[in-house]
Amino acid sequence: MNAVSLPLVTGPSLDSFGLDTVWVVLLKAVLIFAVLVVLTLFNIWFERRVVARMQHRIGPNVNGPFGLLQSLADGVKLALKEDIIPTRADKVVFILAPIICVVPAFVTFAVIPFGPEVTIPFTDTVTPLQLTDMPVAVLFVMAIASIGIYGIVLGGWASGSTYSLLGGLRSSAQMISYEVAMGLALISVFLFAGSVSTSEIVAAQGDLWFGLILAPAFIIYVIAMVGETNRAPFDLPEAEGELVGGFHTEYSSLKFALFFLAEYINMVTVSALATTLFLGGWHAPFGIGAIWEGANEGYWPLLWFFGKVFFFMFIFVWLRGTLPRMRYDQFMDFGWKRLIPVALGWTVLVAVMRLITIEETFDRQSLLITLGVITGLLVVAMFVPSFGAARDEAETEEPDAPAKPAGAFPVPPMPATGAVRGAAPPLTFADSGPRPGPAQAEES
Amino acid sequence: MELYTPVLALLALAAGFAIFSVAVSTLTGPKRYNRARLDSYECGIEPTPQPFGGGRIPVKYYTVAMTFIIFDVEIMFLVPWAVYFDQLSWFGLIAVVLFLFNITLAYAYEWRRGGLDWD
Amino acid sequence: MNDEFTGPAIEWARLWPLFAVFGTALVGVAVEAFAPRSARCLIQSSVAGVGLAVALVGTVLVALELPERAGGAARGDVTAGGAVVVDGPTVFLWGLLVVVTVGGLLLFAERRVDAGLPVFAGQASLPPGSTAGPGGPGEPSYEDWEHTEVYPLLVFALGGMMLFCASGDLLTMFVALEILSLPLYLLCGLARRRRLLSQEAAMKYFLLGAFSSGFFVYGMALVYGYAGTLNLAGVAVAVRAGGGQEVLLLVGAAMVMVALLFKVGAVPFHSWTPDVYQGAPTAVTAYMAAATKIAAFGAILRFLYVGLGDARWDWAPLLWVVAILTMLGGVVLAVGQTEIKRLLAYSSIAHTGFLLTGVLGLQASGDLAEGQISSLQAVLFYLATYGVATVGIFAVTTLVRDPGGEAGSVARWTGLGRTSPLVAGAFAVFLLSLAGIPLTAGFVGKWSVFASAAGAGAWPVVAVAITSSIIAVYFYVRHIVTMFFADPPEDAPVVVVPSPLTSVTIAVALIVTVALGVVPGPLLDLAGHAGQFVR
């Protein structure tokens, strides 16, 4: 083992966990719970204010200072609304779905490290600022977060409504599509950290954040996390233009609020995970640690941690304020045909690079030559028509999948020229009225 | 305490909150019976009798689900490899590259056959 | 975490035929993805052909180089960290499997019997009865389409089978079981004619097969609970040491055997056999009937002989019952069959029973009399004769056709001997071999398994086996009689002239069947030379 594979350990490791007494565990659990609920209320307000600024509006500013209590008021309003269970709904599953959705959202936070080991005020108990950790913590987050998808798809299914069903299906297909890219992006982090435990991954980033040395994985993760949380520009399950509200069309009152809560907690979760895995977790940003020695001790790391989380929250809001919603096929194409190949290639590349560094098989010169060759190949590859383009050509000369045999599910016919790609051709009108227009100009 | 038991505390808290919310909303909200309101929402038109009894779901979702499982299992195989990468060294790298090659071949096949296309 | 890791040693010199087969299948997938549709069929069949040729040569080369063990009683090596055992029986079965697969490949590529169309459906998802184009007039019709995936699937199945009979631990065995099964499930549903029957067959095979795989895994877990290892040699050590939770071993072994007996179609796990044999495309049936049995008996032998050899007084009585039931069930149910492929399916069940009789002939090598045939040798030889005859007989059934497909009904074959004596003659020879008439390969095979079982004291089973052979002769000969001594019907089915692909398959199978009946010595010696399992 050499210096590369044995990073500087600063902070708690797996051995620091499992030592808490019952009341410390309960205290931490209640605190996490409270923080998440308050964060949700704050984030909703934050999002509305920021989006409003981006759209030259003011946003909620009436209830409380700066309108901070707006979300709370909305929550109370929801609680006072009628709790509707549609007649065609599957009652049990309909009621269970929001619970299934929201519980995992909370539970994932059990393994997120907020800070180093601290002394609880007014006592001399020392404990890490993290509920627990486990050797497979990141996998635990992924696994529990996947259970949340059940809530969405079951809610959509149990509503007994077309919009809900389609929304639920879409969102589950979307989440699992982007989970693959997300998982592949995480592989390179595990590879460098040599661990799947969150606290050890944070410890491994003592001197250099993974977000910098593994930038492609970081970018893939950020894209995938937006897709995972069904947020704009990937908010297709709730595409109000086509699906009304998506899977929660039929939900009202506090059940609706639970779905809402789950969505916002999930945003915080993926942001916190991104912080933990790529931005050094609770470590102070560069420079600060060098100037000020106490930056990584005591309760100060909470500041850095939440600062980084809010950085991601701002990105979420920024995306929503900036980008239009993608079309579903574009979205799936992007996930399956762009992100996954890139993530796979990156995983192999990063493994090779690391092995070369560890083994020192090649000297620096041959390493540079290899990199040059790879870059050259990539540049050449850019000029080769992509898979998709090749397939489109193949499609025109030989129809691959048979369209619809007799008795198949009825769908409206496709345009004669196939699916519309790019801008639609301008409309032309058969009747030639007195009004001159571009359509007539084209005809003549 | 064990490493995993603290999760139960948070789980109990979250479940309690969720169940309480679902239960309390039936008490706090008004109840005014209205047949139309209890119908499925479909922009005011007569609801289509689709999802239950004979409703069919595009087969695309199944293929996506199956492809997802293949890739997710693949990731599960990659995780232990990544964690013990330094010890496995070249043997691990070659084994995983071969493994990924096989998966990628099947992936290319599915791609070419339009299994990843939505229309 | 700082333990030094040492990778398992892979003996490439012993294993490369296996890798060649899997590599061929992967090349097939790549061809399927990237070659233009019009060229795919040719490329795929050539790739598969080259791969099989390499595998065959490789098997022979590996066989020649096997080191001797235990003073010449066995030869071979345990490779890949105990996962794969390449020994005499393994390479014998490998060779047999590759030969049978070559036959299967030739039948897969046949196009002339169905008026220039491939034997497989254009689209697996086609609903029954749809022959018109997808979008109505003007569109290319389904007739023009072809599933060229069948070739990689065939090679994948072969790879799984080769691994199956070579697996040294139960986990490898399970993986191999799945690799060989999944392609077969798919292939069964691809018949061009009688889609509904074919799809039903695939569905039944898949559901029951998946169920039996579940048994395998559960049994495997229980055996692990007993022995603390999945390695067959390790299980043998634990069994010899005795003690521990005997019941875990017995229940676990029984469950593993359920899955293995399902694969060979032994009563009471036989019910899928007739439906699947009938519904699958005949080329697939020919391949599957022969190859699955070869591979699965390889696995059964290895599991029982290597893993549970010392517990044979525990499993032998149960296997007696299964063997007796299988033989009787097969022949009795075959008597009433009116469909050729169903008839052959029940006959194959009966043959499973005969093979199980051979398996029961296990004796310690010290108990074996001088010059006596060991049970392993007998079963290996029987598998060879059965496999060749099965490929041949199913190949012949593809030739007799009605307008809607193959003439499946036995009644339609009436008088065939007068209109096309050549086809009927070949069919008769294969039937005689399956019946075990002297001067055909089947006789020698049966004689060897019965002798070996009798030598081990399984007299009741042998008695039943002889009885059921006589019953079997009745329905085989009855069929020959209707073919040769009755007048053909007015609308007699057409006997097509196949391309050399099928003709060669039938001819080779015929020659081998007769040759093994007249001079069985060399192959019998080869099976004997393979020796015992290496553990």
Give the distance from residue A103's alpha carbon to the nearest chain B alpha carbon, in angstroms: 5
B chain contacts of residue A409, beta-carbon cutoff 8 Å: 56, 58
In a domain, B60, yes or no: yes
Give the pLDDT band of residue A428 (cuts 50, 70, 90): low
Neighboring chains of B (3 or more beta-carbon pairs < 8 A): A, C
Query: Which DSSP symbol is given to A108?
Result: G
Bridge partners (DSSP) listed for residue C231: C169
Give the residue on C whose Cα is nearest the Cα of B112.
Answer: C33
- Residues of C148-158 as b/e, b for ≥16 C-beta within 10 angstroms? bbbbbbbbbbb
In a domain, C7, yes or no: no
Instruction: Give the tokens for residue B94.
Output: 């070659």
Alpha helices in C79-136, H assignment, sequence order: 88-109
> Is C30–B89 a contact, with Cβ atoms under 8 angstroms apart?
no
C chain contacts of residue A190, beta-carbon cutoff 8 Å: none
Query: Is C9's Cβ below 8 Å from some Cβ in B?
Result: no
Query: Is B43's Cβ below 8 Å from some Cβ in A?
Result: yes
Instruction: Give the tokens for residue C68.
Output: 């001797």
Q: Which residue has the higher pLDDT, C289 or A90?
A: C289
Other beta carbons less than 10 A from residue A122's beta carbon: 6
**Residue whose pair of structure tokens reads 């571009």 in the numeric block:** A438
Rounded Cα distance between A308 and A303, Å, is 9
Residues of chain B with pLDDT under 70: 1, 36, 42-57, 119
Give the residue on C whose Cα is nearest the Cα of A402.
Answer: C134
In a domain, C69, yes or no: yes
In a domain, B69, yes or no: yes
Mean pLDDT of A374-392: 61
Residues A245/A47, Cβ–Cβ less than 8 Å: no
Bridge partners (DSSP) listed for residue C400: C495
Q: Which residues contact C45 (CB under 8 A, 6 or more apart)?
A: C105, C108, C109, C151
pLDDT tens digits in sequence order for chain C, 535 residues long:
456 677 777 788 888 899 999 999 999 999 888 888 778 888 888 999 999 999 999 998 888 888 777 666 777 778 877 888 888 888 899 999 999 999 999 988 888 777 777 778 777 766 665 554 454 444 555 556 778 888 999 999 999 999 998 898 899 999 999 999 999 998 998 887 777 888 889 999 999 999 999 999 999 999 998 888 888 888 888 888 877 788 888 899 999 999 999 989 888 888 899 999 988 888 899 999 999 999 999 999 889 888 887 777 788 888 888 988 998 888 888 888 888 889 899 999 999 999 988 888 777 666 666 667 788 888 888 999 999 999 999 998 888 888 777 887 888 888 888 888 888 889 889 988 888 888 888 888 888 888 888 888 788 888 888 888 888 888 888 888 888 888 888 787 888 888 888 889 999 999 998 888 888 888 888 877 777 777 7
Residue A102 identity: V
Whether pLDDT at A384 is above 80: no
Alpha helices in C360-458, H assignment, sequence order: 375-397, 416-419, 421-435, 441-455
For residue A127, the surrounding DSSP H or E stretch is strand A126-129
* Residue of B87, B97, B107 to mutate for C, most C C-beta atoms under 10 A: B87
Q: Which of residues 114-153 of C touch A (CB under 8 A)?
A: 123, 126-127, 130, 132, 134-135, 139-140, 142
Closest partner CB to A102 (pick from B6, B18, B28): B18
Instruction: Name the nearest CA neighbour of C154 among C334, C292, C339.
Output: C292
Closest partner CB to B72 (pick from A172, A183, A190): A183
Rounded Cα distance between A440 and A430, Å, is 9
Residue-level pLDDT at A399: 46
Mean pLDDT of A356-365: 69
In a domain, B16, yes or no: no
Instruction: Give the tokens for residue B4.
Output: 């995993």
Query: Is C2's Cβ below 8 Å from some Cβ in A?
Result: yes
Rounded Cα distance between C254 and A52, Å, is 70
In a domain, C314, yes or no: yes
Residue-level pLDDT at A434: 54
Lowest mean pLDDT among A78-87, A187-196, A236-245: A236-245
Other beta carbons less than 10 A from residue C46's beta carbon: 13
Mean pLDDT of A289-318: 84
Rounded Cα distance between C266 and C274, Å, is 12
Q: Residue A127 — φ and ψ, nearest 5°? A: -150, 150
Instruction: Name the nearest CA neighbour of A90 among A151, A155, A162, A150.
Output: A155
Residue-level pLDDT at A412: 62
Query: Is C10's Cβ below 8 Å from some Cβ in B?
Result: no
Residue A385 identity: P
Residues A297/A116, Cβ–Cβ less than 8 Å: yes
> Is B105–C30 a contact, with Cβ atoms under 8 angstroms apart?
yes
Residues C100/C387, Cβ–Cβ less than 8 Å: yes
Whether pLDDT at A274 is above 50: yes
C chain contacts of residue B89, beta-carbon cutoff 8 Å: 5
Q: Can you tell me whether residue A383 is helix, strand or coil?
A: helix
Rounded Cα distance between C531 and C377, Å, is 8
Query: Which DSSP symbol is given to A296?
Result: G
Mean pLDDT of A168-191: 86
Give the pLDDT band of residue A314 (cuts 50, 70, 90): very high
Lowest mean pLDDT among A19-23, A116-120, A363-367, C59-63: A363-367
In a domain, C2, yes or no: no
Query: Which DSSP symbol is given to A323?
Result: P
Residues A221/A278, Cβ–Cβ less than 8 Å: yes
**Residue whose pair of structure tokens reads 């490899």 in the numeric block:** B81
Residue-level pLDDT at A352: 86
- Residues of A146-179 as b/e, b for ≥16 C-beta within 10 angstroms? bebbebbbbbbbbbbbbbbbbbbbbbbbbbbbbb
Residue-level pLDDT at C101: 93
Residue A398 identity: E
In a domain, B13, yes or no: no
Q: Residue A116 — φ and ψ, nearest 5°? A: -80, -170
- Residues of B40-73 as b/e, b for ≥16 C-beta within 10 angstroms? bbeeeeebeebbeeeeeeeebeeebeebbeebee
Into how many domains does chain B fold? 1
Mean pLDDT of A31-51: 90
* Residue of A9, A355, A386, A398 to mutate for C, most C C-beta atoms under 10 A: A398
Strands (E), C15-73: 68-69
Query: Is A210's Cβ below 8 Å from some Cβ in B?
Result: no
Residue-level pLDDT at A361: 60
Rounded Cα distance between C387 and A206, Å, is 66
**Residue whose pair of structure tokens reads 């299914």 in the numeric block:** A157
Instruction: Give the tokens for residue A309.
Output: 């989380």
Instruction: Give the tokens for residue C325.
Output: 């039931």
Whether pLDDT at A216 is above 60: yes
In a domain, C136, yes or no: no
Rounded Cα distance between C193 and C285, Å, is 14
Into how many domains does chain C fold? 1
Residue-level pLDDT at C27: 92
Rounded Cα distance between C462 and C460, Å, is 5
Instruction: Give the tokens for residue A42.
Output: 């704050």
- The interface predicted TM-score of the complex, written ipTM, equals 0.86
Asked if residue A233 has a cis previous peptide bond (ω within 30° of 0), the answer is yes
Domain containing B66 equals: 53-112
Residues C441/C389, Cβ–Cβ less than 8 Å: yes
Closest partner CB to A398 (pick from C2, C37, C135): C37
Bridge partners (DSSP) listed for residue C167: C84
Rounded Cα distance between B91 and C6, Å, is 9
Strand A115-119 with C74-79, pairing: unpaired
Residues A114/A301, Cβ–Cβ less than 8 Å: yes
Whole-Å CA distances, C436 to A13, C266, C426, C440, C513 = 73, 20, 15, 7, 11
Domain containing C50 equals: 12-131+142-530
